[in-house]
Structure 1
């Protein structure tokens, strides 16, 4: 793993392949770039003469923590734009899923100079999907800080691995002012609240309409309440140059991967199935 210094942060990344077109893969959760399925998809894309950036977002993997910005995805989008600039890799095709799709869209909206295209799947949305995300990401940290203190935050399952990999992160959490931390977590949690005129949190529909790069949007599953079909279809309708396509798996893909994540290798293990559609679209839409 290599590291880049970006806006005072140490960001871990891997660069696979040496082609002219750059892809960036961004998952959701706090999954690191080594999560099964991500490197395999990167290698499948690189085999077609591309270079692929895998990166650990701030607050994930081996990268530093950062507790700034109106929302965590917006902070990570700003970091991605700075990383692409620092590494001289833009403009790039941003490929993302779950909250990674939000990060990719926010990067395109606020930093269009580093983006040449978008590929999006498992797009988080809907009232239940967004409220569950807010709860998963922030409720444990808020509860631990409020009722016990920052030592309890450092011991949480979501945070402890990040601190074990990076001693700077441990010091930052333990030295964090509790009230300032609570204010950030609650601001970030509130950013996920569904709002009229926003298919994606923090991205007003009028701003989505201004994203003019080619986009490939994979339709969500009708059975998936976390990444609703309606969200994927509405987003494809907002993006001026989007193509809405069927994914290379069945309607219950996310639910099945979630149910089998311990026995079958994790949520992302079948993502390499996306590679042929991604490569074909890029050749046609991006030249």
Structure 2
């Protein structure tokens, strides 16, 4: 299936569905990466071969979708977008799966819209002081500094937003139409979500919200020395989601660190952060088939 787009909450969302039979899996990558990021599609294709359909989507601020800025956190905004997307497509409840930032998005969606989820699969869960601070510094602070220094037009100089404009030229005007004061208010709120707090195992989400996850859940734990997705966080989430299943990663314990080193050595040209994800397909299919 080729790319399609649909307007959700005032912005166009680009998506595609792989496969033509079986239950639907919504597969979400991490960061602000698009559905076309290397490593994601091989996992999606393996799940299709296992008898499922897979929805890949560019979340707001990712890939070719429109940029949008609202909500308690960016993950909250994405959860509402996914709810609107599935409702518009008249599909659901379905299987929700994601890694890294996509794991947080998937868990929050399940908490906020439990009636839309049959099973949940997450891996590379972000947590801890280092992992949370890195995200806030990378995804929020540059935009705050740009607007405080140059006004709203300063966003056009932020490398990440230049990429969004390159993939979707209409995003340039969407940036220019933003109100600087309101944008900064949203950014401060989004940044606050990444400040580690007692009672928040994952950024911006109160631990008691995990009580709303009542579907069968598979957690693939973080690597032994992964600072971005701590092993400890996986265990804490496992404790918070009653009845969840926790398994060791199907990739090497140091996969994330080695991928990061490879990217750094290539100057970011050799993207390989998610190349190992396809190795999770057998474990995911086994869990879904139970």
Q: Which category describes the TM-score, using the shorter chain as reference length?
A: over 0.9
Map of 1:191-210 to 2, 5 A cutoff? 191-210=193-212
**Structure 2 match to 1:10:** 12
Contact 2:35–2:63 (CA<8 Å) still a contact in 1? yes
**Which 5+ residue runs of structure 2 have no aligned equivalent?**
none
Root-mean-square deviation over aligned CA pairs? 1.3
Correspondence for 2:285 among 257, 263, 279 = 279
Superposed CA deviations along residues 138-188 of structure 1, whole A, max 9, x for unmatched, are 111111111122222112111111112223311011121222211111110
Contact 1:15–1:53 (CA<8 Å) still a contact in 2? yes
Distance in 1, Cα, partners of 2:137 & 2:185: 15
Q: How many residues align?
A: 284
Contact 1:65–1:169 (CA<8 Å) still a contact in 2? yes
Contact 2:96–2:119 (CA<8 Å) still a contact in 1? yes
**Structure 2 match to 1:267:** 273
TM-score by length of 1: 0.95
**Structure 2 match to 1:139:** 141
The CA deviation at 1:264 is 4.8
**Structure 1 match to 2:252:** 250
Distance in 2, Cα, partners of 1:49 & 1:161: 35
TM-score by length of 2: 0.94
**Which 5+ residue runs of structure 1 have no aligned equivalent?**
none
Superposed CA deviations along residues 14-36 of structure 1, whole A, max 9, x for unmatched, are 10012221111111211111111
Distance in 2, Cα, partners of 1:122 & 1:111: 22
Distance in 1, Cα, partners of 2:202 & 2:11: 26
Distance in 2, Cα, partners of 1:31 & 1:145: 23
Provide the secondary structure at the position in 1 that maps to 2:201: coil
